[in-house]
Chains A and B, each alone.
Chain A
Amino acid sequence: MWNRFDKRDNIRRYGTALVGLAILIVSWRVMNVNYEYLLTAHYEIYDLLYRMVPPDLGYVNEIASPLIETIHMSIMGTALSIIVSVPIAYLAANNVSPHWTLVYFGKFIISVTRSISAIIWALIFVVMFGPGALAGIFALAVRSIGFIGKLLSEAIEEIDPIPVEAVTATGGNKIDVFVYGIVPQIKPAFIGMSTYRWDINIRQATVLGLVGAGGIGLVLDSAITRLYWPGVTTILLSILLIVIFSEGISAYLRKKIGGV
């Protein structure tokens, strides 16, 4: 008779399912969940909601300036990372890099900056620059190098070589080749990914203050420490607002110019 799965298929299928289940159970056990907490969770959530509503709208005055600082941080962080990412992407792109060792160097910078979250970079830069927006800007910038650098070097690797050769053939030097042969081809993707990254950075910038790196996160941290929950609600709402706002701008710009 016909069977969809023969014996080996079945062993593999049930084996995979069992292994998956085992991993799940082991993972759960490893976490050492304190079930007593779970028993009070519904009470805590109710309590939290009760304290958070209604929001303290008067708090808006106090959070306005950290909120603006958050936006500035995101813009500066993105701008700084763009400046640094362009040469790094150039080095990391196989087809235009001056030397193959530089390709590895570029890719190394990209993976290191990419693999560590902005908030961890913020921990480091707070040690360097002390608490404040400066640390936040550097954290955003460094994390974004990996993001923009990766996408940009991939975009450069995919360019059509003919325009590049054409510019070279007319006697252009390296800079001419870059400006006339490469830039026009990657411009839409570049603008798209920069805008997209800025959008992400706003979201990131809202939390960097939790480790002292400036912006609205600082106020959020102190409001939580003081258990000032109506203020927390106001802060969350304000974050919601700027995130939606930035998403709108980013979507508009990407639709108009960007390719990502």
Chain B
Amino acid sequence: MLKIDGLKKTYSTGDEALKGVSFEVDSSEIVAIIGPSGAGKSTLIRCVNRLEEPTEGTIFLDDVEVTSLSKKELRNARRDIGMVFQEFGLVDRLTVMENVLSGRLGYMSSLNAFRRNYPEEDIRRAREILSTVDMAGYEDDRADELSGGQRQRVGIARAVIQNPKILLVDEPTSALDPETSRKVMELLIDIAQEEDISVLINIHEVHLATRFADKIFGLRDGEVVFEGLAAELDESAKDKIYRGEDPEQEVDVSDDSELQSTDIKEI
């Protein structure tokens, strides 16, 4: 259902983050991208919903060619693509409920969005999802009052309420402790399976990837160097991806440096 072909991204600084990446994600499939930091994992994810403009290549979501959409069409396509961020990406000064319901912005008029006038159906659904992610009762708390694990649960709720076809998940656990990471991952996968959403997840903890993903891609220096089922990821494959570095020791400095050069022309 998601088909990426020959995707390249060259930043204005000349850095080649992606050098022609191709792969597919099938319906209800969970696909993990692993690789050392700086391999281009975040860039790849951000190219799919064009938070980052790809330089070359095509991305199809079902029959829609995301890469050739106009701004307005892109906004419609983005409603089908949920996104979960490494640093959660919650709006600090809004309440939990507003954050979750912001997942419905693509379906609302600007005026209603501004007045916080949400459809009853959305509110009912938001409550339902919040209780699924175990955050019922926090509706009116401000996002910056929550712990990291709680914030990521709200982040997941925001993505799920979009009713997306696919979830893009960018390093969901690297800002969390191991125990919380595991719980958040379990929750994420449970919901995705229950709601029948495909997941493209980029993650640096290999053990989490092998445990939760159906399929794994290894990314190195902007190229796919491994592709296979989770069970097929053996030592030699890891070696190829990480070139001998211990992946679990990998300190993932968030790929911030890669993200700076985007220009926002939409304001």
Contact = CB atoms under 8 A, between A and B. Distances in A.
Interface string A1-43: 1111100000000000000000000000000000000000000
Using C-beta atoms within 8 Å of the partner chain, give the interface range for chain B: 10 to 19
A87 B139 CA distance: 56
Interface residues of A, number: 5
- Chain A: interface secondary structure? loop
B123 A2 contact: yes
A3 B116 CA distance: 8
B3 interface: no
B29 interface: no
A247 B6 CA distance: 53
B104 to A, nearest CB: 13
A5 B114 CA distance: 13
B139 to A, nearest CB: 6
A5 B116 contact: yes
- Chain B: interface secondary structure? helix
A4 B123 contact: no
A96 B116 CA distance: 54
Contacts, number: 14
Nearest to B127: A2
B116 A2 contact: no
B137 to A, nearest CB: 12
Contact of A4 (B97, B120, B124, B127): B97
Nearest to A6: B140
A241 B147 CA distance: 54
Q: Which of A1, A3, A4, A5 has the most CB of B within 10 A?
A: A4
B28 interface: no
A2 B96 CA distance: 12
A13 to B, nearest CB: 10
A3 B124 CA distance: 12
Contacts of B120: 1
Interface of A: 1-5
Given A2-B126, A2-B127, 12 more contacts: A1-B120, A1-B123, A1-B124, A2-B97, A2-B123, A2-B139, A3-B116, A4-B95, A4-B97, A4-B98, A4-B116, A5-B116
| Cβ-closest 9 pairs across A and B | A4-B116, A2-B123, A1-B123, A1-B120, A2-B97, A2-B139, A4-B98, A4-B95, A5-B116
